[in-house]
Structure 1
């Protein structure tokens, strides 16, 4: 067993793809780190806390490492989960094991209490209270919606009437509902209708009501230390996402925005009040361009914002972790950050394709848990999903074809222009010739790489489709629908890796396409100067 010391700890679970962004950045900076997937405790991971002797070790059976937990200087609390999977246990026994694991991990947090945290667990729990959030936001000076939390029927009815019956209802804690087994559902923010009859149910459970605000869009502000990244989500472009943008069944348009200075200041004041080094703050941008505070998520998602808008949120998180890992060693901190910055520069000029995850293994038999009365609804939804997947594939291939055709034409024009320069100025202006050749060479690299990835995106692969045999099934209506739904799911899973591969390749083609366009613009400017000063 190798005794190891690490500097940065990432607390998460095996399935957390957002943590992969930080892992990549830390690897680029060559910082010592360890990713602790808490769902592997009791499987590949083991803990030893010898209180008498002051030993606090983490043992990783998969890597053969024994890590002293006290060596960690910084901790990124991402998404730790507990998933005991021990056969032969009753539900009560499984809950006992889960609780023991939970409180063991709670002890681990206390052992690491002196480290820098992004964020401390207790700070996250304090900040997650939506009632406290509203009180604090109002105190700081944010505009907030008219809000009521009550289980008093008359108060709820009066509030509803005072808002001209334009109200939304939202969860006080989280909208996640877990049923028996692994089934989960989400309660979204929704417009609500309160009547004398249904209001009686309010007595049993407090409800969280707010005024329904007409808006231009939703704003997500990601705060990392003292750095803010603001994104406008164009939720009003589609009916489904007007009340809660998370309900959209397709990606919504996003855009970068600049926050008013006073909103930035209040965001930082809010995170400071809550002792948070990271947070995701949600606003409504109303029809008067006012920012209306909704809530703050002390451990919110951010990777999709980075992907969509190019914000370097992962870089800022990595920078914050490194700086607080080596607070008194400016040289080490500088070198590590410099390596990460150099890799960012390399990525800017020559991006690399991320290594693909392992391919999905499709089960032979897919068990359906759909009730008979819901089969037709599920069937229609599966048809829509398959249609959307097909549209997605066609869109990817159309984009790849566009990249190939436009760059082919552009490259031909560049070659023609270069030939003219060579024919007319070879003896008189060698610097001009060298510059032209250099730009043409760079353009050729970007063009060839773009076309390479675009062609790979166009590769057909083994693509599953619905066949005549799939439709020609024996059985009553419900049996028929179940067989078709199972086939739809299989098709979706069979094609998932192919679609993801196409997405990856067309994304890379798009990255190099953008760089090729920039080079073409530079070359056009170069030609203009040549013509003006010839």
Structure 2
């Protein structure tokens, strides 16, 4: 069984972990670093007297008709096309490369973890909250808007305070090329008097939810792996544990979810047709489980180190077992 892993060359150790697990379970894995296409990786898609679809990288050749499963992980089309190229021509090259790869992915008949249309639909955070509420999951009061008046009115509904966040994941780079990730942040009284920037970009605001623990729940197929961390132990992690992600690496512990919460999360996954998802949940001091979001291609690698959850083995198992279904 051949598994195609779609990623980029700067992806983390999750790739090697899953590749090792696939090999250990009797399969073969082929890594496609999309940032190396079209400059270093070749793709031949032929329709004529029959069909031929061949991917070549580092003198390795893969017949895509022989692929039994696809793991869609990351994408970075055209990143190595020279920046010295004419700007418009470079953008056109990236766009043509992107649709070429997307067409290739769509035409593979094997099992997909997960199909791109499912990922794109599930990536809509507003829809996630709607579906979660319908399923019966507890969710925080949330407002997405570019209207300063609406924000001030919403603040009145949040006596414990509120936070701001973005619906899309992105980073801003300074002149030195340093990455500045946009984290979740508290909204102060001064911020409420300085909302003019909303006319250029909408933001999402949520009521502040008290935290006893923060949970990262990784679902692979029907297997549920839950881990918890006390983010409130570090001042800079109280609103977004990722700010102190390195400091908290060894602080994660296995966690047993209540059966009803687990069942609702599995219903959420089934609604979106997902076989994989990384879910963020807050456990409040009064034992409420508050759903924040599901990341259809979210990270998991640090949970393999501590507390040692076998997520990569579960991913390999789904890829290999479903490929023959």
TM-score range, shorter chain: over 0.9
Provide the aligned length of Structure 1 versus Structure 2.
320
Given the alignment of the two structures, is residue 163 of structure 1 paired with residue 158 of structure 2, yes or no?
Answer: yes
Deviation at residue 42 of structure 1 after TM alignment: 2.4
Deviation at residue 155 of structure 1 after TM alignment: 1.4
Alignment map for 1:15-164 (pairs within 5 Å)? 15-16=10-11, 17-65=13-61, 67-82=62-77, 83-86=79-82, 88-112=84-108, 114-164=109-159
Given the alignment of the two structures, is residue 243 of structure 1 paired with residue 247 of structure 2, yes or no?
Answer: no
Q: Are the aligned partners of 2:46 and 2:52 in contact in 1 as well (CA < 8 Å)?
A: yes
Q: Match for residue 186 of structure 2? A: 191
Given candidates 257, 267, 270, the residue that maps to 1:269 is 267
Q: Match for residue 13 of structure 1? A: 8
Normalized against structure 2, the TM-score is what?
Answer: 0.92
Given the alignment of the two structures, is residue 172 of structure 1 paired with residue 170 of structure 2, yes or no?
Answer: no
Q: Match for residue 320 of structure 2? A: 322
Normalized against structure 1, the TM-score is what?
Answer: 0.57
Deviation at residue 225 of structure 1 after TM alignment: 0.2
Given candidates 225, 230, 233, the residue that maps to 2:226 is 230
Cα offsets for 1:93-134 (capped at 9, x unmatched): 22222111111111112211x321111111111111110010
Alignment map for 1:332-343 (pairs within 5 Å)? none
Q: Match for residue 196 of structure 2? A: 200
* Structure-2 separation of matches of 1:90 and 1:232: 49
In structure 1, runs of 5+ residues without a counterpart are 1-5, 328-534
Q: Match for residue 384 of structure 1? A: none
Deviation at residue 37 of structure 1 after TM alignment: 1.4
Q: Are the aligned partners of 1:118 and 1:278 in contact in 2 as well (CA < 8 Å)?
A: yes
Q: Match for residue 306 of structure 1? A: 304
Q: Are the aligned partners of 1:12 and 1:81 in contact in 2 as well (CA < 8 Å)?
A: yes
SS in 1 for 2:180: strand
Alignment map for 1:341-356 (pairs within 5 Å)? none
Q: Relative to total residues, which structure has the larger helix share, 1 or 2?
A: 1
SS in 2 for 1:276: coil
Q: Match for residue 212 of structure 1? A: 208
* Structure-2 separation of matches of 1:52 and 1:299: 35
Deviation at residue 172 of structure 1 after TM alignment: 1.6
Alignment map for 1:447-462 (pairs within 5 Å)? none
Deviation at residue 30 of structure 1 after TM alignment: 3.2
Q: CA RMSD in A?
A: 1.9
SS in 2 for 1:47: strand
Deviation at residue 7 of structure 1 after TM alignment: 2.1
Deviation at residue 60 of structure 1 after TM alignment: 1.9
Q: Match for residue 252 of structure 2? A: 254
Rg larger in structure: 1
Q: Are the aligned partners of 2:8 and 2:75 in contact in 1 as well (CA < 8 Å)?
A: yes
* Structure-1 separation of matches of 2:116 and 2:246: 33
In structure 2, runs of 5+ residues without a counterpart are none
Deviation at residue 84 of structure 1 after TM alignment: 2.8
Structure 1 residues 20 and 159 mapped into 2: Cα distance closer, same or farther (>3 Å)?
Answer: same
Structure 1 residues 13 and 54 mapped into 2: Cα distance closer, same or farther (>3 Å)?
Answer: farther
SS in 1 for 2:9: coil
Q: Are the aligned partners of 1:279 and 1:300 in contact in 2 as well (CA < 8 Å)?
A: yes
Deviation at residue 183 of structure 1 after TM alignment: 5.0
Structure 1 residues 71 and 234 mapped into 2: Cα distance closer, same or farther (>3 Å)?
Answer: same
Q: Which has the higher contact order (CA 8 A, sep 6+)?
A: 2
Deviation at residue 290 of structure 1 after TM alignment: 1.1
